[in-house]
């Protein structure tokens, strides 16, 4: 079995097992506010901070490029984690199915400008990976007691070797 991955375009449908994609393109406003000037797409992410609270942090990360080796995934058992691009830099989004005590199949997506994501509580994911440029992101995650972190290091890294240009189903 190959450990190579092709990064697929990030769509709400493909990402649904792992989290939410927030974007205007795939959404109809729930309410028109501000005297007709603004559409509100209301409450579009499943936030869950267990016994903690929501906090806003800012992540400033160095860029990644292909081939991108994924040696590690992690998860936050006590909370969801959302990433909103602040300077328009797309993310290489790495997630994995859950086998209970460890990750299973790994999936790679490339986000587009205008897309924000929310990883559901407990979802295995790679670290923040801005694609080809230094990236800043507002992060909405759990502020609270406890480590809230599990890591899994792969014996053989997965490697994102290619960016797909269509939305055909992921391999594996």
23, 39 in Cβ contact below 8 A?
A: no
The CA-atom distances, in angstroms, between 12 and each of 23, 25, 33 are: 9, 11, 25
Q: Is 33 in the site for a copy of itself (CB under 8 A)?
A: yes
- Site for a copy of itself, residues 81 to 110, rule: CB under 8 A: 82, 84-88
Q: How far apart are CA 125 and CA 123, in angstroms?
A: 6
Among 16, 17, 57, 132, the residue binding a copy of itself under the rule CB under 8 A is 57
- The reply on whether position 113 binds a copy of itself by CB under 8 A is yes
**Binding test (CB under 8 A) with a copy of itself, winner from 43, 101, 151, 155:** 43
Supply the minimum distance, in Å, between the C-beta of residue 110 and a copy of itself.
Answer: 17
**Could you give the dihedral angle defined by the CA atoms of residues 90, 148, 105 and 94, in that order, rounded to the nearest 10 degrees?**
10
E-assigned strands of 111-145? 116-119, 124-125, 135-143
| Spatial separation of the C-alpha atoms in residues 62 and 41, rounded to whole Å | 31
Q: What is the per-residue binding string for a copy of itself in 117-156, x denoting contact by CB under 8 A?
A: -x--------xx-------x-xxx--x-------------
- 23 belongs to the binding site for a copy of itself (CB under 8 A): yes
* Local structure of 14: helix, strand or coil: helix
Nearer CB in complex with a copy of itself: 81/109: 81
User: Which spans of this chain sit near a copy of itself (rule: CB under 8 A)?
Assistant: 20, 22-24, 27, 29, 33-35, 37-45, 47, 49, 53-62, 82, 84-88, 113-114, 116, 118, 127-128, 136, 138-140, 143
């Amino acid at each position: 079995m190959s450990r190579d991955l092709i990064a697929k375009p990030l769509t709400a449908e493909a990402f649904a097992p792992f989290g939410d994609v927030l974007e205007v393109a795939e959404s109809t406003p729930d309410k028109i506010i501000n005297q007709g000037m603004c559409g509100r797409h209301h409450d579009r992410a499943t936030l869950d901070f267990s016994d903690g609270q929501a906090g806003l942090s800012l992540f400033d990360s160095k860029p990644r490029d292909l081939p991108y080796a994924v040696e590690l995934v992690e998860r936050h058992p006590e909370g969801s984690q959302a990433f909103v691009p602040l300077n328009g830099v797309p993310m290489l989004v790495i997630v994995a199915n859950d086998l209970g005590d460890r990750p299973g199949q790994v999936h790679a997506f490339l986000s587009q400008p205008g897309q924000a994501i929310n990883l559901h509580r407990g979802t295995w994911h790679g670290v923040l990976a801005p694609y080809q440029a230094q990236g800043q992101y507002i992060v909405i995650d759990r502020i609270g007691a406890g480590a809230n972190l599990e890591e899994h290091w792969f014996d053989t890294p997965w490697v994102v070797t290619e960016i797909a240009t269509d939305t055909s189903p992921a391999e594996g």
